[in-house]
Amino acid sequence: MKIEFNGATEGEAPLTWGQRLMWRAVHLMGDSQNYLNCPFVFPVYGRRELPQVLDALRVLIERHEALRTTFSDAGQRILREGVLEIDLVEAGPERGLRVAERVAGEMAHTVFDHGAEWPLRCAVVVKNGRPFALACVFTHLAVDYHALALLAEEWKSLLKGVAPPPVAWQPRDQAGLEASDAWQARSARSISYWRDVLADAPLEVFDHPPGEPEDPRFIEVTMESPALAVAATRLSSRLAVSSTSVLLAACAGELGEVSARSRVVMQLVHNNRRDARTRGMVGTVGQDALIVLDLRERDFPEFCRTTHRAALQAYRNAHYDPFAMTAMREKAGGHDLDAFFNDRRAAPGWPALPPEADLSVAHTRTYTKNAWPGVRFKVFFTVGTDPGTGQLSLIADTAYLPRTTAEEMLRSVEARLVGSV
C-alpha cells in the first residue's frame, strides 16, 4: 500500500542548529543511532475509512517540509513529490492501540538511511476491517517531541475534515534565520556562557575508571511511579517552580551521591521553542543547555529553587551553532559532559494521573526496556510522556553504573521527592 504526495515547495538549505546537533549524534552513535528514532502512534478517532486515514497522512506530509526531506553532510533537501510505502497490520484479538505501539517500536529498531529514505515510516493498524491507529517512526532529524505533539493536533483536525491553518515557518526558514547576523551574535553569546561555565566545571562525570560492562553496554532502566508525579506536582506548586526543575534537582542530587561530588555538570535537553515562529514548526529545534549545580545546599526545597534559577539561565544560552560550540569545547579541554536530563512532556504535569494517586510507593515498578552497544551516554535521565504516571528512565553506561545502581538511583529520586513533600 502506498500514498503519493505532492507538496507546494522544494529546495535545499543548510541544516538547522538543531539538525546539526542530531547529525553529529547520528555519526557518533553509528549502529546505535536507532536510539534517535521517534516512535509515535496517531489514534484514529471515530469511525473512519482507510482512504480518509491515508489522506490525512498525505496532507501532513505535504504541509510540512520536514516530512519530505532527506539529509546529508551538505544539508537538507526538500522534495516536492514522492511516494511513501505503508504497511497494513491486522490487530487480531489484541487491542488496536497496543498493537500500534508495538509496531511503532519495532519499526524504530531499524536505522534510517537519511540521504535516500523518507524521514518517516508508517503502518496502519486495522481491527475488524476498520483503521484503528497509524503507527509511525520518525527520524529525530525531522521532528522533536514538540513537533510530534503539533502533528497529533493536526491529525485530529484532519480526521474531522477541518483544514489546519497554513504553515508559517519551516525548517529552512529557521536555517536562514540562524545564518543572520543577529542569530550568529546570539550563538556567540551562548558559546561565551558555556566557556565561562566550563572554566569552573568538573572535567569528568566520574572520578573512577570504567569497570567491566554488560553486553550490550548501555541500558535503559525505567521507573513508573504515581507517587513521583504526586510529589513533584505538590513541590512545584508549593515552591513556585516548574515540576521539570523539581525533577532535575532530584536527579542531579542522586548523580552527586553516586559520583561522590559536591558539584555536578549536566546537559539539559531544551526544546528552544520560545520564539513564536518555532512554536508551530514541525522540525527539530532543541539543543543542549549547560548547568553546573552545587550540591552542598542540604535543604532540598531551597535546592529546587536554586536549580530552577540556574536552569532558566542555561536555557537562555542554548541557541548556538553546534560546529562552533564543538570547536570551543575542544579548545577548553574536552570536558566530559556525558550526563544529561530531558523532560519529554509537551506540557507540565500529568493530566491523566488517577485522582486517588497519593505518595504511596506501593504501585511503583521498575524494568529494563532497551539496550544498545554504543549510545555513548554515561548518565541520561528522561521524564517520559505518559500522562497517567510519573515515568522516569535512566540510560546508564554499565561500565560506570551497574544495573542495580541505576535502579537504586531511580528509587532514590522517588524517595527524595516523596520525603520532601
Domains 2-174 and 180-420 share a fold: yes
Tens digit of each residue's pLDDT (9 = 90 or more) over 218-260: 999 999 999 999 999 999 999 999 999 999 999 999 999 999 9
pLDDT at 346: 83
Average pLDDT over residues 387-410: 97
pLDDT of 203 over the 90 cut: no
Tens digit of each residue's pLDDT (9 = 90 or more) over 353-382: 999 999 999 999 999 989 999 898 999 999
Average pLDDT over residues 40-47: 95
Half-sphere exposure of 162 (CA within 13 A, CB side): 8
Q: What is the mean pLDDT of the chain?
A: 96
CATH 3.50.50.60 fits 180-420, yes or no: no
pLDDT at 297: 81
Contact criterion met (CB below 8 Å) for 304 and 245: yes
3-class state of residue 81 by DSSP: strand
CATH topology of domain 2-174: Chloramphenicol Acetyltransferase (3.30.559)
Tens digit of each residue's pLDDT (9 = 90 or more) over 77-105: 999 999 999 999 999 999 999 999 999 99
SS3 content of the chain, % helix, strand, coil (to 5): 40, 25, 35
Amino acid at 68: R
Average pLDDT over residues 119-143: 97
Contact criterion met (CB below 8 Å) for 48 and 159: yes
Name residues whose C-beta falls within 8 Å of residue 244's C-beta, 6 or more positions apart in sequence.
311, 343, 345, 348, 383
Kind and range of the H or E run holding 90: strand 81-90
Average pLDDT over residues 204-208: 90
Domain ranges of the chain: 2-174, 180-420
What is the C-alpha separation between 255 and 103, in angstroms, rounded?
34
| Model pTM score | 0.94
pLDDT of 120 over the 90 cut: yes
What is the C-alpha separation between 246 and 238, in angstroms, rounded?
11
